[in-house]
Amino acid sequence: MLVIRPINSADFPALKKIAEESGHGFTSLPVNDQRLQQKIAHSEASFATAVEQAGQQGYLFVLEDTATGDIVGTTGIEAAVGLETPLYHFQQNTVMHHSVELSVLNQLKTLTLCNDYTGASEICTLFLRQSYRQGYTGRFLSKVRFLFMAEHPQRFSDIVIAEMRGAADDNGQPPFWCWLQKLFLTIDFPTADHLIGVGKKAFIAELMPRHPIYVGLLPEEAQQVIGQVHQQTKPALKMLQQEGFVHRGYVDLFDAGPTIEARLSQIHSVASSVKVPVRVVDKVEPGQMLAISNTGTQGFRASFSEQARFDEHDAVLLVQPELADALQLEDGDLARFIVLEKGRR
């Protein structure tokens, strides 16, 4: 069985392995022992702290295969970004150049450095090992964050964002980065990627353009990828769009991937989640695939299974013993669930 739980210090070797597998562009998990250990410690403290409003907490979850004890994936939430270290984006705008005398009207696209998402919550750090990328696992890993946020809304901001990985060439280099490096930076993409991952972002304010950039002056290959996602990121983007996330013109500084947003209360999996008592029964007839969590913080557990069914007549969630044990649920406890998909695959 696959179970989501908060990360702990014993998971460091597994987290480091995932950081190595994730490759460049996955800045939230740098291959740096000190930084990874700090992230684990910060997550443990965040789960342990009573919170009345979103602050600098960061929640990192791991996906454990209970049959082997292996950690096979991660997913995370930053409660409020940009409060300590600025979070920069380019904002896409259109400016008008108009000459009445010449009867000329030009609409020109620009990119402007900004940090408009300061204080927003961010879903991040989603990674699933290759051998587990099948069935419902990836979908669950994305949506389980919304179960936690629905249960603990006071820990998060009203606006939730997700930064999507931008387009890259056959060598893994973002075309958008190439012109940026040539004009403004003298470091390669992996170096910049690593610096951001370990929290050294001062060079952004020091070296990035301070004035609006006219998009039409960029190389054609850089223009074409603004707001576009990496081929491997398209399924994740589609899933979040189905949750209600939209793109309002903000893109990443280095690969120009879109940052999308939604209001917490309007995210589909938050709004449609149901919180009901549990009844442990010997057998549940398979039907809908449900994502289910308990209502804990430090003791948060979640999984997906057909070994549970919502009894509308009694307004209880029927759960088989194996699943109840994995989620640390007993008769009468409250659980929260969403439907991953009706029927079987």
In a shared domain, residues 140 and 193: yes
Residue 280: domain span? 273-341
In a shared domain, residues 224 and 332: no
In a shared domain, residues 301 and 244: no
Closest CA to 145 of 44, 11, 289, 243: 243
For the question of residue 89 being annotated catalytic, the response is: no
Check residue 232 and give its pLDDT. 84
Check residue 29 and give its pLDDT. 82
Where among 253, 268, 283 does a domain terminate?
268
Closest CA to 73 of 11, 27, 121: 11
Helix H or strand E encompassing 182: helix 175-183
In a shared domain, residues 277 and 262: no
Rounded to the nearest angstrom, the gap between the alpha carbon of residue 323 and the centroid of all alpha carbons in its chain is 26
The domain total for the chain is: 2
CATH at 287:
2.40.40.20
In contact, 145 and 162? CB cutoff 8 Å: no
In a shared domain, residues 192 and 81: yes
In a shared domain, residues 300 and 218: no
Question: pLDDT tens digits for the chain (345 residues)?
Answer: 999 999 999 999 999 999 988 866 566 788 889 989 999 999 999 999 999 999 999 999 999 999 999 999 999 999 999 998 888 899 999 998 888 888 888 889 999 999 999 999 999 999 999 899 989 999 999 999 999 999 999 999 999 999 999 998 887 788 888 887 777 777 676 677 666 665 666 667 677 778 899 999 999 999 999 999 998 889 999 999 999 999 999 999 889 999 999 999 999 999 999 999 999 999 998 888 999 999 999 999 999 999 999 999 999 999 999 999 999 999 999 999 999 875 443
C-alpha to C-alpha distance for 279 and 239, rounded to whole angstroms: 31
In a shared domain, residues 131 and 233: yes
DSSP E strands in 183-330: the ranges are: 213-214, 246-251, 258-263, 274-280, 289-293, 302-305, 308-311, 316-319
- In this structure, is residue 103 part of a structural domain? no
Helix H or strand E encompassing 90: strand 89-99
- In this structure, is residue 35 part of a structural domain? yes
In a shared domain, residues 237 and 288: no
Closest CA to 302 of 4, 2, 1: 4
- Greatest alpha-carbon span in the chain: 83
- In this structure, is residue 143 part of a structural domain? yes
Three-state secondary structure string covering 38-60: HHHHHHHHHHHCCCCCCCCCEEE
C-alpha to C-alpha distance for 155 and 50, rounded to whole angstroms: 9
In a shared domain, residues 304 and 189: no
Where among 268, 291, 324 does a domain terminate?
268
In a shared domain, residues 146 and 21: yes
Where among 248, 268, 288 does a domain terminate?
268
- In this structure, is residue 107 part of a structural domain? no
Write down the pTM of the prediction: 0.90
In a shared domain, residues 282 and 206: no
C-alpha to C-alpha distance for 320 and 6, rounded to whole angstroms: 23
C-alpha to C-alpha distance for 157 and 119, rounded to whole angstroms: 7
Q: From the candidates 24, 89, 194, 230, which is the catalytic residue?
A: 230
CATH at 186:
3.40.630.30
Check residue 345 and give its pLDDT. 37
In a shared domain, residues 164 and 16: yes
Check residue 208 and give its pLDDT. 77
